[in-house]
Structure 1
Amino acid sequence: MQRQSRPPDQPTPRNEVARVVIVGGGFAGHRTARKLSRTLAGTPVEIVLLNPTDYFLYLPLLPQVAAGVLEPRRVTVSLVRTLPGVRLVLGEATHVDTASRRVLYTDPEGRQDELPYDRLVLAVGSVNKLLPVPGVASYAHGFRGMPEALYLRDHIIRQTELATADTDPDLAAARNTFVVVGAGYTGTEVAAQGSILTRELRAQTARSSRSRRGTGGASLGAQPRWLLLDIAPRVLPELDRRLSTTADRVLRDRGVEVRTGTSVKEATASGVLLDSGEFVATKTLVWCVGVRPDPLVADIGLPVERGRLRVTPRLDVPGHPGVFACGDAAAVPDLTRPDSPDAGDGGFPLTPMTAQHATRQGAVAADNVAASLGYGQARPYKHHDMGFAVDLGGARAAANPMGIPLSGAAAGVVTRGYHLAAMPGNRVRVAADWLLDTVLARQGVQLGLVRSWSVPLDSASPELARFPASGKE
């Protein structure tokens, strides 16, 4: 007999099991599940986490995976190991029926099933933001998940190796040209880390060529060229201007061409056309212009604000008792900025779509879900921003912890210390990889695990993953 959910206005007897379904195992969902498992330990409450993968992905360190600093498993934390008492269901939510209180989902083998719930937490996160630029969906590479990071790493190494052996100097130069669009946190770190990777790959090739001198060693080809583009007037516009200047200087010192006030007009198989009229021949276009809420948010049919589910300061959805939302999918009022000119419909601006807010919203959502079941007291979400940190590779970083601008080695220590503290696991392994990266050369070999067509830029369109997009290579 199929389990039936109990309406939230009918208290659940203490001897009857209530089910809490959490959709999404990112920063918000993982934190919600983890705190609920501790708060409700020993109670008749079943906690179920629905997620497409069996791991939590620590997104801020993904650029280091693409650059070969960290091994992929370092930034993937086991959900089963870190969430004791939580039942993991592998699948992707396709629809939420709030009337019958069910979540419909598709499992990794394509089978459809459903999860009835008594309490629901929507923490589905975000996906790549696409702009109506011709050719971008077909020729750009996104950077939002592990497959994309692994593919980009393989792609960079492949293009560098092909350029070394290419007899056409123009094609070799295009292979050695890497264009990153978006100078926010992700784009800046991808350009910073990628420039180090290609520099080391070239140094390894040079050493190999010298060892074959006199025996027909191959030419090194064109110098690697990195371009970082953004329509904003400066890199990292979210940060203090001094930190933005620091990051800009580090990038330029590494040879990265920073083009602010610049956007892409069209992408083609042979390169990108800039709005200035300049055509840049390249085989690599990395799209890091931002994110948007997961498409499930729009499909649910609940009220939204700026594309995100409208919630109260207690993270519950108005008019739908028992339904909560947090993280990038939720339009959470920022109670710490009541006088901001960016105030939304509720009189407050929305909290930014960052891991810092998502993690802390997950903790509040857990408390409020537990309170709705009779355990503890509900509370509003209120968090003062603690600052940001951007890893620029090596010992370089830019950070403003508690509003204090830092650069150089001090920022590097703070940035890496913050990441180690924020990760829910794998800390020793991450620290060990950082140590090894300072004393050993990176391994410039392709993994060969991911094909280009399996990581479409528009990750919201699963059908694109089944068909190759021409010109990706």
Structure 2
Amino acid sequence: MTAVTRPRILVVGAGFAGVACVRRLERRLAPHEARITLVTPVSYQLYLPLLPQVASGVLTPQSVALSLRRSTKYRTRIIPGGAIGVDLRAKVCVIRTITDEIVNEPYDYIVLAPGSVTRTFDIPGLVDHAFGMKTLAEAAYIRDHVIAQLDLADASHDPAERAARLQFVVVGGGYAGTETAACLQRLTHAAVERYPHLDPGLIKWHLIDIAPRLMPELGEKLGRSALEILTRRGIEISLGVSIAKAGPEEVTFTDGRVVPTRTLIWTAGVVASPLIATLGADTVRGRLAVTAEMTLPGYDGVFALGDSAAVPDLAKGDEGAVCPPTAQHAHRQGKQVADNVIATLRGRPLQPYRHTDLGLVVDLGGTDAVAKPLGLELHGLPAQVVARGYHLGALRTGVAKTRVLTSWMLNSFAGDDFVRTGFQARKPAKLRDFEFTDAYLTPDQVRAHVEESGRPVR
């Protein structure tokens, strides 16, 4: 088989799902069997579970950004850009490159793993005044912003402004929000010791969620343990509460409270990438409706997985149950999709996705943690050992493992210098500034673009 006639496999997205798929394809396919292409706007895989530790300065950004060019083999072609539309009938993916050129990428098999974006609601002022915690840039920016609030409060002669700058609100009582509030609270309370003119009692962290329980997936006992840990550390937790409106200097809760603050961090869940809406295919709560083999019914050679696909959860045995959008599922699904793509190429039967739950870990900073490995409930130092051991094991490269372990050890002994870099110091960087959700085409625009420009052969 010549290079020209090799089947073209296009993988969209370099998260846990996409990277796991590419790496498996590289290992199990001979070079003559297929051409592999990966579309991603950044040249790294983000280890998202450790993002709160980047925001709090425990880890450097490089520690959780795993280079794709280091870890994928040279045979995979990487297109730096974002997929903004897919014509499933013509088998063409429309890509906006990092040079802002719009190109067509034809494929024979496509693996859709574009991930998710922050879920927002029609709350007045939210996207204009809230910070997100979904990207590496957001985590780095939030660290700078939080330390800046201490600097600005220390410099202020207005008691009301000083108090407002030292109040912080995190929305979202899931893993991301809880870990973010916990890690940043430790940052501010350690940093304030370097500000002798600031009253530590003015620092107040609020964690709110519309749900009646904190991290309900952990179960009642561990959820209550996490609640007690955070409350003991001075974080005010309000459940059954959300945001009514957000302004530049205050946030209004749905229970009527008005909190003067310059820091609103929004972590209230995710939704499938806007790319999914360009397909014109059936969805389940915004996620692409796929089979247990992660194929798209009615379309040849289309696979979807991860946060953007409603993959049936066969382990639960409940009709209609789908896998939650977690890194654990995405990584395993990536491997299974790769095997199913290979099975399709070789004329073999596809296998459904099944999993055994490894459990959950929540790192609350220091020696505070809760974990549920294989159903065993832990808290405190044993949970912290399990949580950090899990993350080390999940990091894909030896370089990343070494960086993270070294940073943990250095931080535990030497602490933080609380230096801010001035990252985008003169430019606001709120929810609307990082995810570019308005960049995608409509299904009609995708078809029109493909028809107008033709299908270039690469």
Q: TM-score, normalised by structure 2?
A: 0.92
Q: Deviations over 1:236-276 (max 9, x none)?
A: 12211111111111111211111112111111112111122
Task: Specify whether residues 454 and 266 from structure 1 end up closer, same or farther in structure 2 by C-alpha distance, changes over 3 A only.
Answer: closer
Tell me which residue corresponds to 1:317.
296
2:23 maps to what in 1? Answer: 34
Give the alignment of 1:54-453 within 5 angstroms. Answer: 54-84=43-73, 85-206=75-196, 218-220=197-199, 223-338=202-317, 340=318, 347-374=319-346, 377-425=349-397, 426-450=400-424, 452-453=427-428
Q: The residue matched to 1:350 in structure 2 has which SS?
A: coil
Alpha-carbon displacement from aligned partner over 1:303-350 (angstroms, at most 9, x marks no partner): 111111111111110010100001011110011112x3xxxxxx3301
- Partner SS, residue 361 of structure 1: helix
Specify every segment of 5 or more residues in structure 1 that has no aligned partner in the other structure, as ranges: 1-11, 207-217, 341-346, 465-473
Number of residue pairs matched by the alignment: 435
**Aligned-residue offset at 1:455:** 4.7
Gap runs ≥5 in structure 2: 440-458
Query: What does residue 445 of structure 2 align with?
Result: none
RMSD: 1.8
> 2:126 & 2:411 partners in 1: Cα distance?
34
> Contact 2:189 / 2:200 at 8 angstroms: preserved in 1?
no
Look up the SS of the partner of 1:233 in the other structure: coil
Mapped contact 1:391–1:398 kept (Cα < 8 A)? yes
Cα separation, 2, equivalents of 1:292 and 1:282: 27
Deviation at 1:449? Answer: 2.6
In 1, the alpha carbon distance for the partners of 2:2 and 2:83 equals: 29
Cα distance in 1 between the residues matched to 2:181 and 2:272: 25
**SS of 2:331 mapped into structure 1:** helix
Cα deviations by residue, 1:389-424 (Å, 9 ceiling, x for unpaired): 000001211110111111011100000000011111
Contact 2:127/2:430 (8 A) holds in 1: no
Instruction: Determine the C-alpha separation between the residues in 2 that align with 1:66 and 1:219.
Output: 22
Name the amino acid aligned to 1:179: V
Tell me how far 1:204 sits from its aligned partner. 1.9
Residue identity over aligned pairs, in percent, reads: 42
Q: What is the CA distance between 1:42 and its match in structure 2?
A: 3.5
SS of residue matched to 2:238: strand
Q: Distance in 2 between matches of 1:98 and 1:320?
A: 7
Paired residues of 1:335 and 1:382 also in contact (CA < 8 A): yes
| Cα gap change, 1:219 to 1:435, in 2 (>3 Å) | closer
Shift of residue 459 of structure 1? 4.8
Report the residue type matching 1:183 in the other structure.
G
Distance 2:145 2:347 in 1: 51
CA deviation string 1:94-134 (max 9, x = no partner): 11011221111111121111211111000000000001211
For the Cα contact (< 8 Å) 1:51–1:89, is it kept in 2?
Answer: yes
Q: Secondary structure at the match of 1:453?
A: coil
Superposition deviation, residue 223 in structure 1? 2.4
Moved more, 224-233 or 441-450: 441-450
- CA deviations on 1:282-316 (whole Å, 9 max, x unpaired) are 00000011000001101111111111111111111
Moved more, 218-227 or 408-417: 218-227
The 1:350/1:13 distance shift into structure 2, 3 A limit, reads farther
Q: Cα gap change, 1:439/1:375 in structure 2, threshold over 3 Å: closer, same or farther?
A: farther
- AA in 2 matched with 1:186: A
How far has the Cα of 1:166 moved from its partner? 0.7
Give distance in 2, aligned partners of 1:302 and 1:459: 27
Q: Does the CA-based 8 Å contact 1:191-1:228 persist in structure 2?
A: yes
Alpha-carbon shift at residue 219 of structure 1 (Å): 4.9
In the alignment, the residues of structure 1 paired with residue 241 and residue 219 of structure 2 have an alpha-carbon distance, to the nearest angstrom, of 21
Deviations 1:57-87 (A, max 9, x none): 0000000000000000000001111111321
C-alpha distance in structure 2 between counterparts of 1:354 and 1:373, whole Å: 28
The answer as to whether partners of 1:173 and 1:221 remain within 8 angstroms in 2 is no
How far apart are the structure 1 equivalents of 2:437 and 2:2?
41
Distance 1:374 1:15, change over 3 A: farther
Tell me how far 1:460 sits from its aligned partner: 4.8
Q: Which stretch shifts more, 259-268 or 280-289? A: 259-268
- In 1, are the aligned partners of 2:192 and 2:200 still within 8 Å (CA)? no
